[in-house]
Amino acid sequence: MRCFGILKAATLAAAFLFGASAAADASVVIKIDKKIQRMTVSVDGVKKYSWPVSTGKPGYATPSGTFWIFRMEKDYFSKEWDDAPMPHTMFFTPQGNAIHGTLEGRNLGRPVSHGCVRLDPQNATTLFNLVRMNGMFSTQVIITGPSPGLPPGVTKPIPPGLVKEKRRLQQQGNPVASNTDWLSVSR
């Protein structure tokens, strides 16, 4: 068991150490635009797929940025969300954000997830097989666009304590509270 933990840590370290230089070598690029709720998949620079997705709803933002797939599970069930099925799961953050299939296809095209990127199950299967065939470290995930319910420039949910503090300062007439720049501090 300890050996597995060391292997996992080494794999993650390699992904972060070599991620920047490997970006140009990524054979699969998955681009997710939160504004239009759409994923495009390119292989060797050629656009192959374009699918509707569902990203994080207000309060559960899908992070923006550039990521690498570091773990894949064909049949995964969420331990955080009542064993919800997440077929063909591809994790891209240590916090548990992932791309996966959904049984709620009627919601695709709208931000309704708890921070993951949901896909039609058939599309998730196609993407999973493509990533498996090309390799996790040859797959780059780029997520752009605003998160619903967040001020422009803020890509992570605002902690409830900060929201309460801002309201309190606004009620006191503090001019700093009307500016959203203070919310975009790295967290």
| Residue pLDDT, tens place only, 136-155 | 989 999 999 987 766 555 55
Q: Which residue's structure tokens are 């635009």?
A: 33
pLDDT score at 181? 42
The whole-number pLDDT of residue 183 equals 42
The residue whose two tokens read 């374009």 is 50
Please tell me the predicted confidence (pLDDT) of residue 116: 93
Structure tokens at 10: 């080494």
Q: What pLDDT does 3 receive?
A: 45
Length of the chain measured in residues:
187
* Residue 76 confidence (pLDDT): 67
The answer to whether 114 and 57 have CB atoms below 8 angstroms apart is yes
Per-residue pLDDT of the chain (187 residues), as tens digits, is: 444 444 445 444 544 444 444 444 669 999 999 999 999 999 999 999 999 999 999 988 999 999 999 999 887 666 665 666 678 999 999 988 999 999 888 999 999 998 999 999 999 999 999 999 999 989 999 999 987 766 555 555 555 555 566 666 667 776 554 444 444 333 3
Distance, in Å, from the CA atom of 165 to the CA atom of 50, rounded to the nearest integer, reads 41
Q: What is the pLDDT of residues 86-110, one digit of tens each?
A: 789 999 999 889 999 998 889 999 9
Model pLDDT, residue 112: 92
Count of CB atoms situated within 10 Å of the CB of 157: 19
Token pair, residue 163, equals 């929201």
The SS3 call for residue 44 is coil
**Structural domains of the chain ordered from first start:** 2-149 (2.40.440.10)
